[in-house]
Chains A and B, each alone.
Chain A
Amino acid sequence: MRRYIIVRIFLFLPTLLGVATLVFLLNRAMPGDPVDVMLGENAPMAKRAELRHALHLDLPVYAQYARYLEGLASGNLGRSLRSGRPVASDIGRAFPLTLELASAAMLLACLIAFPVGLAASWSGGGGAGRMLEAASSAGMSLPSFFLGPILLFFFAVEWPLFPVSGADEPGSLFLPAVTLAVPMAALLVRMVKASLEEEAGRDYLRTARMKGLTKMEVLRRHAFRNAMLPVATVAGLQFGVLLTGAIITEKIFRWPGLGTLVLNSISSRDYPLVQGVVIVFAVVTLSVNLLTDLLYTMLDPRVRYGG
């Protein structure tokens, strides 16, 4: 088991290096010249050469790659081509907002999914169960860029309960968090239900019933606990998807997080900024996945002592 954990931790860095290399290669392969972006295409040759030198674009590719990795290792993500500010400071401002949005959505999704999934597996194949099943499959097919505008129209325009956009007013987190949470909740409901049903046939539950526990107690004290472990793992592994899903939600609600930052930098061809955001997304996703994995091994004694 310890071997497994060590291997997982050691794979973190090479994977991150791979992402950084991928982004570097894409950056090199892109058509156009960053000097054009910064100075305009009609700038005098001398000025272009000067800037090219300042950005180290006159170095051979491998030297640029080495400088780039060196910068990453020391946490230096370069400077924005447009504003000239360090990329890290722009990301530092946007990142907490995206994290706030994604965490609120995940919390909301869990708050919806656990009771609903429990109710769905309780009622089994009955009418209510089928209704919940249908609602969950509808929720999974509902694109956030359709749900978002609907919520905006009804709860910010027709009945102005919540602000239309931005992150400044109280309550402005609510609509984007709901938009992001619904598909995730729909997925988790299925997981909760499937996992509970998987657990339902096990012998230890029959034993618990036999020794006189009520159905509710068996469910609460035995089945639920064991069934939630795989669900929590899925939820953890889906957090990265939720983070990137936030890109779309941020656009709908003009939430000034990483998604808005990356979209703006794409449309203004500010490639160092794009690169920085992508790498930050990758670091967060890899860290959450690693943490989920480690927590899982710590929580499940079978895995812990298994081998």
Chain B
Amino acid sequence: MARRAAALFVILWIAAALLAPWISPFSFSDQNLTTRLEAPSTIHPLGTDDLGRDVFSRLLYGARVSLIVVAAALLLALLLGTTLGIIAGYYGGLVDKFLGRIIDILMALPGILLAITILAYVGRGLIPLVLALTITAWVGYARLCRSVVLSVKTRDFVLAGRAAGASNTRIILHHLLPQTLSVLTVQAAAGAASVMLSEAGLSFLGLGVQPPMPSWGEMLSTGCDYLLEAPYMVVAPGLLLFATVWSLNTLGDASSAGKERVRASLVDTL
């Protein structure tokens, strides 16, 4: 039930993102100061913001921005993390130590602090945002892949491959990569949720995409300034963000549930 609702919502999010230019009733950037902070009506189903822009249209375009950023950052992070993680795990030694130190340094700036630091110096914009999120997210995938490779690289099928004269490249691509992929797909949905939260958080702090491009986080931040006059400006993007992140998290849980043992009650086992 929850899983179906989550899947449906993710599909809606993706559809809204893809179709935004065709289904939004207004432009996301046209300002109209005579209609500022209007309550929801038949013309503006979710009201207007402080510059008279249609909130509904901006939410649709915000979905587009979040989908682009999440997809790009997640793919880049997976690519980088998998490559470096497998190399470190497989070759070990100095390569592994070096990567370990890099990861230690990046983890010393936890949460969104690393992304904030990068964006503080590089400046805001779509590409800096994607890169900052990638640099924050790849670490987790690298550690995961490294540990998977460490646990399978001495297994018989890898040794057999090597005994048969397979090159390192071949062993990595044909034997190790498939092993990591099954673990990574389980992580993908939860990873998307966390990248999405970070994107919205950075936008909320004014470090997201350039205005007037809308983002749900930036809309929430503007809404905070008009909490008294127009509380709906916070409610709509907030609920959407919550629902999308929850759906991605729920799908992530569902895809990993198959691998967990059935949880019994503590009392039953005592």
Please state if B241 and A143 are interface contacts (CB–CB under 8 Å). Answer: yes
Q: Return the CB mask of B28-56 against A: 1 if under 8 Å, else 0.
A: 00000000000000000000000000000
Determine the distance from Cα of A137 to Cα of B193 in the docked complex, in whole angstroms: 12
Q: Name the residue in B101, B121, B249, B253 with the highest tally of chain A Cβ atoms < 10 Å from its Cβ.
A: B121
Please state if B231 and A153 are interface contacts (CB–CB under 8 Å). Answer: yes
Binds B, one of A35-43, A57-65, A262-270: A262-270
Interface set, chain B 57-108, CB cutoff 8 A to A: 101-102, 104-105, 108
B245 an interface residue at 8 Å Cβ cutoff? yes
B26 an interface residue at 8 Å Cβ cutoff? no
B264: which of A23, A124, A148 is its contact (CB, 8 Å)? A124
Interface set, chain B 97-147, CB cutoff 8 A to A: 101-102, 104-105, 108-113, 116-118, 120-123
Q: Chain A interface secondary structure, helix, strand, loop or mixed?
A: helix
Q: With both chains docked as a complex, state the minimum distance between the C-beta of B115 and any C-beta of chain A, in angstroms.
A: 10
Please state if B264 and A19 are interface contacts (CB–CB under 8 Å). Answer: no
Determine the distance from Cα of A125 to Cα of B197 in the docked complex, in whole angstroms: 29
Q: Chain B interface secondary structure, helix, strand, loop or mixed?
A: helix
Per the CB 8 Å criterion, the residue count for chain B at the interface is 52
Binds A, one of B14-22, B153-161, B163-171, B215-223: B215-223
Q: With both chains docked as a complex, state the minimum distance between the C-beta of B226 and any C-beta of chain A, in angstroms.
A: 10
B270: which of A27, A149, A150, A219 is its contact (CB, 8 Å)? A219
Contacts of A141 in B (CB 8 A): 193, 242, 245-246, 249
Q: With both chains docked as a complex, state the minimum distance between the C-beta of A292 and any C-beta of chain B, in angstroms.
A: 13
Determine the distance from Cα of A82 to Cα of B223 in the docked complex, in whole angstroms: 30
Closest to A17 in B: B105
Interface set, chain A 271-291, CB cutoff 8 A to B: 271, 274, 278, 281-282, 285-286
Please state if B227 and A157 are interface contacts (CB–CB under 8 Å). Answer: yes
A215 an interface residue at 8 Å Cβ cutoff? yes
Please state if B120 and A146 are interface contacts (CB–CB under 8 Å). Answer: no
A205: which of B110, B117, B270 is its contact (CB, 8 Å)? B270
Per the CB 8 Å criterion, the residue count for chain A at the interface is 66
Please state if B123 and A278 are interface contacts (CB–CB under 8 Å). Answer: no
Closest to B246 in A: A141
B265 an interface residue at 8 Å Cβ cutoff? yes
Contacts of A281 in B (CB 8 A): 109, 113
Q: With both chains docked as a complex, state the minimum distance between the C-beta of A176 and any C-beta of chain B, in angstroms.
A: 13
B238 an interface residue at 8 Å Cβ cutoff? yes
Contacts of B205 in A (CB 8 A): 247-248, 251, 263
- Decide yes or no: A145 and B204 within 8 Å by CB, A197-B264, A241-B110, A247-B112 being known contacts: yes
Contacts of B267 in A (CB 8 A): 122, 124, 215
Interface set, chain A 138-160, CB cutoff 8 A to B: 138, 140-143, 145-146, 148-150, 152-153, 157
Contacts of A285 in B (CB 8 A): 108-110
Q: Name the residue in B206, B249, B263 with the highest tally of chain A Cβ atoms < 10 Å from its Cβ.
A: B263
Determine the distance from Cα of A218 to Cα of B267 in the docked complex, in whole angstroms: 10
Contacts of B269 in A (CB 8 A): 200-201, 205
Please state if B112 and A244 are interface contacts (CB–CB under 8 Å). Answer: yes
Please state if A200 and B270 are interface contacts (CB–CB under 8 Å). Answer: yes
B263: which of A27, A29, A125, A240 is its contact (CB, 8 Å)? A125
Q: Return the CB mask of B199-240 against A: 1 if under 8 Å, else 0.
A: 011001111000000000100110110011001001000110
Nearest 4 pairs of A and B residues by beta carbon: A124-B265, A146-B238, A18-B105, A244-B111
- State the A residues within 8 Å of B (CB): 11, 14-16, 18-19, 22-23, 26-27, 29-31, 121-126, 129, 134, 137-138, 140-143, 145-146, 148-150, 152-153, 157, 196-197, 200-201, 205-206, 209, 215, 218-219, 223, 240-241, 243-245, 247-248, 251-252, 262-263, 266-267, 271, 274, 278, 281-282, 285-286
